[in-house]
Chains A and B, each alone.
Chain A
Amino acid sequence: MFIRMFFYKIKEISRNRTLLGWNLVFPLVLATAFFLGFGNMIKDDPDAFKTIEVGYVNTDGQASPFSMVLSSLSKENDGIRVLKVHKFSDVDDAKSALDGDEVEGIYIEENGSVETIVPANGLVSTTLNQIVREYENGKVVIETIAKDHPENVMNAVKMMEINKSVLKEYDFGSNTSPYLQYYFSLIAMSSLFSSWISTSMLEGMCANLSENGKRFECAPVYKLPSIVAGILAGVVLQSISNGIVVFYVEKVLGIDFGIPLLNVLAITTLGSALGIAFGVLIGSLCKNKNLLVAIPLCFSMTCSFLSGLMWHQIRQMIEYHMPIINRINPAALLTDCLFVRATYGKTDVYYRDIFTMLVLIAACLIISAMFLRRRKYVSL
């Protein structure tokens, strides 16, 4: 009976086009959209920092403290060279070099102040601006030193650690780009969509939710084993669907998660189980069949939004203001788990995330079981 139920549920769910659309096609489309939006930044974001070609025009004509900062940043430091400086004597020359893509940005130093010209937003612009900001902050100190002990300027610049603060932007450990987070959130979203699988499964098994449910409850079968069979079927299908999304992103789009494939699949399977478990909880508490689609959808969307699907900093913001939300938001847990695994490896946080997810799954299922045990309804 259990096995039969399992296979029938597999048939039932896999043929449901709406589910297929939301749980598989939609994540694939979104993954592609992300790829078109910032895929190159992830790919270009290599293990080593990519040196920025920058034009430099000094109309003051003399060696300034800023030029020393630039030359300091042009030296290799910890295997990373931030800048390669091209000097121009004329602003127009520099601009034509920029138009010809010979340089990625220009610094123009005039009357002691530095202007930055960068054509596009992005990491290059952030970095170049950051260098100027750090320079402005330490300007007074540098200028004083330059006046009195010109020989020490180089050391002072080093001590300002512009290098470090610039690289901090990129410092996510070995090879994780902040943009990867969007993909992790995407996988979290698609996992949570599976809550819909379980609400629709419960709909067919509870007399208060559908006519099929009435027929089902009139039959001489135990409800809980059938539900467990349905849960397993849902987890299997959602894991396959997640697997396809992972495969598509890694192999077709060529974006490396930086996690061994089996490990990614294990985590996404856990994610599927999490989504399914939440769906079972929603289904067992919900008395109105019209909400069985709306609630899982809103729930998945909200959770994924808070985990950084649309804007990756939101998770950091929550972490700062209300960390508890990140500890229980299933999408945030899953995103964090993938992120931590990719960035730092199997750390305590990684295991904490996994443990929390397991606890959430168990809690959802236990609460649901208590509600689902009820065998008669007051009203149908």
Chain B
Amino acid sequence: MSEKIVKIENLVKRYGDKLAVDHFSLEVEEGEILGLLGPNGSGKTTTINCLLSLLTFDKGEITIFGEKMAPDKYDIKSKIGVVLQNVAVIETLTVYENVDFFCGLYITDKKLRKQYVEEALEFTGLTEYKKYKPRKLSGGLLRRLNIACGIAHKPKLIIFDEPTVAVDPQSRNAILEGIKKMNRQGATVIYTSHYMEEVEELCTRVVIMDHGKNVANGTSAELKSTLMNRETIRISLPGKSEKILEGIREINHVYKTKEEGDDIIINCNGGEHNLVHILSYLTDNNVPFGRVSTELPTLNDVFLEITGKELRDKCS
């Protein structure tokens, strides 16, 4: 079994009366990209700040690289890279100087640092902007600079807190690809987001957080496999009748149908080739049908089923 890089046990954090993190536990193994998925206000940032020893907390244990985390654990801190929710760069320094400044807090060797800084700029595609001041960068480039500042020192553990909020799709893809690449090069990643598509695409394992609690945990496929609904099929069926719907419901794995105008929506609880079975039933009975679509479940469905509500924002 691989080593536990991060271990959070029963973390409780209150802001005054407000319970932000509620007996939250989490383990991250080496080489993972762990997605911390939850709607806004579910306590992701608070958890990250506790993990980094920026915040006090009321209860719980946090160990990183097998050691108890504390503000003065510089050996632990030196192996962590952080990319926080809001852009943190120095306005009066250029792109290059920003990366060099923050990298310099970790890497004191001048030559090595120069190499690292240049690699980070290359990696985030900022080399041609290195003389720019942050104010001149577009939103997406600024986010990339934010990332470059956090990862230039080649940390073993990288924590991203919603790095793609308000980023155009192109930059977003570049960022996600970058994270995958860093992971392939050996970094363990914790990635928080409220965009389930991102988490689904990127993360090897997902923890779903709601109201400060860890409500589900597993790979994306595992989480979906706990769902009753495994496939949603939508068929345009102008000449539908109750008899035909009855027939469809008798097909294996179909457990629910719903009418929506001319369309019917069919939920299946597993099995394969459900669409084929349904369509051949319709052809056999000479029922004409129009547009057909099928959807596999998403993490949104998982979230919906666990918490009874939608993840508020969808990825644009």
Contacts and interface: CB of A to CB of B under 8 A. Distances in A.
Nearest to B83: A215
Contacts of B78: 220
B87 A204 contact: no
Nearest to A8: B101
B86 interface: yes
A16 B92 contact: yes
A216 interface: yes
Contacts of B90: 12, 204, 212
Interface string B80-112: 101010111110110001000110111010000
Nearest to B54: A207
Contacts of B97: 8, 11
A211 interface: yes
A377 B54 contact: yes
Contact of A15 (B88, B92, B105): B92
Interface string B36-68: 000000000000010011111000000000000
Contact of A215 (B15, B75, B102): B102
A376 B71 contact: yes
Chain B contact residues: over half helix, strand or loop, or mixed?
loop
Contacts of A212: 88-90
B189 to A, nearest CB: 16
Contacts of A16: 92
A219 B153 CA distance: 11
Given A220-B75, A376-B71, A214 B92 contact: no
A12 B97 CA distance: 10
Interface string B246-275: 000000000000000000000000000000
B149 interface: yes
Given A12-B92, A12-B93, A376-B71, A218 B87 contact: no
A219 B104 CA distance: 10
Nearest to A219: B105
Interface string A219-237: 1110000000000000000
Given A219-B106, A380-B55, A214 B101 contact: no
Given A11-B92, A380-B49, A380-B54, A218 B86 contact: no
A253 B289 CA distance: 93
B88 A4 contact: no
A112 B104 CA distance: 86
A191 B305 CA distance: 63
Interface residues of B, number: 32
A171 interface: no
A375 interface: yes
Contacts of A32: none
B80 to A, nearest CB: 7
A380 B54 CA distance: 8
A4 B106 CA distance: 12
A220 B64 CA distance: 14
Contacts of B71: 217, 375-376
A211, A217, A220 — which one has the most chain B CB atoms within 10 A of its CB? A220
Contact of B149 (A8, A11, A215, A221): A215
Contacts of B150: 215
Interface in A1-48: 1, 4, 8, 11-13, 15-16
Contacts of A4: 104
B72 interface: yes
Contacts of A375: 53, 71-72
A111 interface: no
Contacts of A210: 88
Contacts of A207: 54
Nearest to B46: A380
Quick one: which of A211, A212, A218, A377 has the most chain B CB within 10 A? A218
Contacts of B106: 219-220
B132 interface: no
Contact of B77 (A8, A11, A15, A218): A218
A378 interface: yes
Interface string A123-166: 00000000000000000000000000000000000000000000
A18 B74 CA distance: 35
Nearest to B53: A376
Given A15-B92, A204-B90, A221 B56 contact: no
A380 B85 CA distance: 13
Contacts of A216: 105
A136 B104 CA distance: 78
Contact of A218 (B75, B82, B92, B101): B82
Contacts of B93: 8, 11-12, 15
A220 B79 CA distance: 9
B89 to A, nearest CB: 7
Given A16-B92, A220-B75, A379-B15, A214 B54 contact: yes
Nearest to B45: A380
B55 A376 contact: yes
A219 B92 contact: no
B56 A377 contact: yes
B56 A218 contact: no
A376 B56 CA distance: 6
Q: By CB atoms of chain A within 10 A, which of B55, B74, B106, B108 has the most?
A: B55
Closest 4 CB pairs of A and B: A211-B88, A375-B71, A220-B74, A219-B105
Interface of A: 1, 4, 8, 11-13, 15-16, 204, 207, 210-212, 214-221, 375-380
5 contacts: A211-B86, A214-B84, A218-B80, A380-B54, A380-B55
